[in-house]
């Protein structure tokens, strides 16, 4: 994790959105069917429809009715390609647009959805994402800089609050990217001066852990703990040096890192989350069960 506002990193910003089948609460069920990316630097677009599974004619219904039902007819009409064909085109396009700057990808709720889904899709095809790609969450930034009276910080909720109307044709990739661009331009007065953490590819954001908010994340950053994986490695290292129960080691590790600068109840809640049976002390991306796909021959 690095802070996006740090001047020593010269950044090229890309606003993006993925549309996918599956339920984000179960990442391994998610498969990309559309991607749109906008280069803030060059004002250029990358758009592509993705075939999540060429062997399927019928796709599962979306988890919420607002998301359109994916059909084979739509994929055929839009000349959909599989991810192993689309992703090299995307990386080449990004390299052309970024002008040797560090690429930073911005999307709404990216750390719980777009970023890990993109990583998982690459893993299915045994493809590596560029290690110099960073990700920034417009959801966290919005919570930092604007107060939503009804607590709805979804992309559509923010759009309604700021512009007085919902997103037209929401849950299509380009339209959602346009909405995110408009929101970010409004919140930064068209300067794109952003604040907050950005995480590199294959690094899990600390705020994906329940009870870790902006302050706790910043305190862990100051303690040189900059990802979920790094936090778990420190906990495991401490646990191996003692016969103390893991729950105690976790609490002691957090207390040392946070230095009593967070309420004790908050620290206890984070510790309980880390040791709960629903949490796993491993990288969220690499530990997701996925079915590996056969990579089609490169048509070029």
Architecture per CATH, domain 2-204, reads as: 2-Layer Sandwich (3.30)
Given a cut of 70, the residues of the chain with pLDDT beneath it are 277-300
What global pTM score does this model have? 0.91
Q: What is the SS3 string spanning the chain? A: CEECCCCCCCEEEEEEEEEEECCCCCHHHCEEEEEEEEECCCCCEEEEEECCCCCCCECCCCCCCCCCCCEHHHHHHCCCECHHHHHHHHHHHHHHHHCCCEEEEEECCCCCCHHHHHHHHHHHCCCCCCCCCEEEEHHHHHHHHCCCCCCCCCHHHHHHHHHCCCCCCCCCHHHHHHHHHHHHHHHCCCCCCCCCEEEECCCCCHHHCCCCCHHHHHHHHHCCCCCHHHHHHHHHHHHCCCCCCHHHHHHHHHHHHHCCCCCHHHHHHHHHHHCCCCCCCCCCCCCCCCCCCCCCCCCC
All structural domains of the chain with their residue ranges: 2-204, 206-282
Q: What is the per-residue pLDDT for 291? A: 56
């Amino acid at each position: 994790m690095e802070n996006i506002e740090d001047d020593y990193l010269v950044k090229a910003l890309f606003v993006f959105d993925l549309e996918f089948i599956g339920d984000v609460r179960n990442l391994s069920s998610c498969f990309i069917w559309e991607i749109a990316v906008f280069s803030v630097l060059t004002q250029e677009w990358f758009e592509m429809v993705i075939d999540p599974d060429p062997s399927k004619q019928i796709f599962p219904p979306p988890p919420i009715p607002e998301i359109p039902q994916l059909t084979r007819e739509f994929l055929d009409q839009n000349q959909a390609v599989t991810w192993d064909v689309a992703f090299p085109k995307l990386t080449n396009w990004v390299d052309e647009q970024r002008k040797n700057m560090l690429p930073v990808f911005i999307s709404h709720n990216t750390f719980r959805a777009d970023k890990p889904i993109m990583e998982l899709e690459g893993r299915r095809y045994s493809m590596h994402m560029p290690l110099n790609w960073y990700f920034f969450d417009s959801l966290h930034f919005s919570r930092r800089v604007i107060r939503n009276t009804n607590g709805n910080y979804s992309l559509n909720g923010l759009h309604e609050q700021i512009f007085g109307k919902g997103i037209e044709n929401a849950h299509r990739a380009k339209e959602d990217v346009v909405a995110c661009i408009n929101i970010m331009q409004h919140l930064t007065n068209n300067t794109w001066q952003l604040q907050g953490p950005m995480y590199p590819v294959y690094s899990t954001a600390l705020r994906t852990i329940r009870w870790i908010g902006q302050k706790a994340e910043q305190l862990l950053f100051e303690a040189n703990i900059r990802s979920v994986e790094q936090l778990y490695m420190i906990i495991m290292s401490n646990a191996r040096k003692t016969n103390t129960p893991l729950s105690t080691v976790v609490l002691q590790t957090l207390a040392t890192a946070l230095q009593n600068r967070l309420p004790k109840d908050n620290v206890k809640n984070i510790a309980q989350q880390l040791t709960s049976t629903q949490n796993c002390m491993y990288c969220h991306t690499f530990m997701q069960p996925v079915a590996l796909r056969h990579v089609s021959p490169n048509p070029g």
